[in-house]
């Protein structure tokens, strides 16, 4: 089993989303039929940011491979690496802080890199079809406030939409909310998130 952990906090030390995503991975490994056969890849988009989708990147992507400059080939290869990593994964664990009511820009850059027509999705006579099927997805959401099931939670509908569009429809969301509401609330929230992890693993 290949597990891909994607971290998107800007923080290295002290990131709750990274720590909780790691807890999901630990749990997956511990309960795997063959723990020794579990391969884990960790990509930390905060520590190693992926470049944004700017005009040069678009030009590189839309230039036929054999006509690309060395710089364009290098830029496309950076996206190719993320796509290959994702294609190889059976399980994907995303650590996602809320930043200004959205997902971190670092995660958006990853989504822009992995969304490629005819590779990870395609248009058919019946509409769009995601090509990254058969994967299990866990998304750990960390927030200073509390927005679960409210219109201000733009993260969940956005992630569900874009991941499903790419074929990743089996998604479990784990919430750690109220992390900025005092030490007690923080501890309760983290304990609740760990309980949610146990619950989704047993489901």
The CA-atom distances, in angstroms, between 43 and each of 46, 82, 110, 119, 126 are 9, 9, 10, 21, 34
The CA-atom distances, in angstroms, between 21 and each of 122, 163, 184, 193 are 30, 17, 22, 10
144 contributes a contact to ligand FMN by CB under 6 A:
yes
Tokens describing residue 23: 């807890």
Tokens describing residue 62: 């839309």
Q: Which is nearer to ligand FMN, 9 or 115 (CB)?
A: 9
Residues in contact with ligand FMN, shown as a per-residue x/- string from 86 to 115 under the rule CB under 6 A? -----------xxxxx--------------
Binding residues among 166-185 for ligand FMN as defined by CB under 6 A: 179-180
- H or E stretch including 30? helix 16-31
Closest C-alpha among 31, 69, 6 to residue 201: 31
Selected binder of ligand FMN within 4, 5, 6, 15 (CB under 6 A): 15
- Dist. CA 193–CA 20, nearest whole Å: 8
What minimum distance in Å lies between the beta carbon of 7 and ligand FMN? 8
Choose one: 16-24, 30-38, 117-125, 195-203; the region binding ligand FMN (CB under 6 A).
16-24
What minimum distance in Å lies between the beta carbon of 14 and ligand FMN? 7
Choose one: 15-23, 37-45, 83-91, 105-113; the region binding ligand FMN (CB under 6 A).
15-23
Residues 6+ apart with CB under 8 A from 163: 137, 169, 171
18 contributes a contact to ligand FMN by CB under 6 A:
yes
Binding site residues, ligand FMN, CB under 6 A: 9, 11, 15-18, 97-101, 142-145, 179-180
């Amino acid at each position: 089993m290949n597990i891909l952990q994607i971290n998107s906090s800007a923080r290295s030390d002290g990131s709750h989303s990274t720590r909780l995503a790691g807890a999901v991975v630990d749990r997956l490994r511990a309960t795997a039929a063959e723990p020794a056969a579990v391969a884990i890849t960790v990509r930390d988009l905060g520590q190693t940011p992926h470049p944004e989708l700017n005009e040069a990147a678009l030009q590189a992507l839309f230039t036929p491979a054999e006509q690309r400059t060395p710089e364009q080939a290098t830029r496309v290869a950076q996206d190719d690496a993320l796509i290959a990593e994702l294609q190889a994964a059976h399980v994907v664990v995303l650590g996602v802080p809320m930043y200004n009511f959205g997902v971190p820009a670092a995660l958006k850059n990853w989504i822009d890199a992995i969304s490629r027509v005819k590779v990870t999705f395609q248009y058919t006579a019946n509409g769009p079809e995601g090509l990254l099927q058969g994967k299990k997805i866990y998304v750990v959401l960390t927030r200073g406030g509390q927005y679960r099931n409210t219109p201000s939670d733009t993260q969940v509908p956005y992630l569900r939409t874009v991941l499903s569009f790419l074929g990743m429809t089996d998604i479990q969301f784990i919430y750690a909310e109220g992390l900025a509401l005092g030490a007690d609330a923080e501890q309760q929230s983290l304990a609740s998130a760990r309980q949610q992890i146990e619950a989704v693993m047993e489901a």
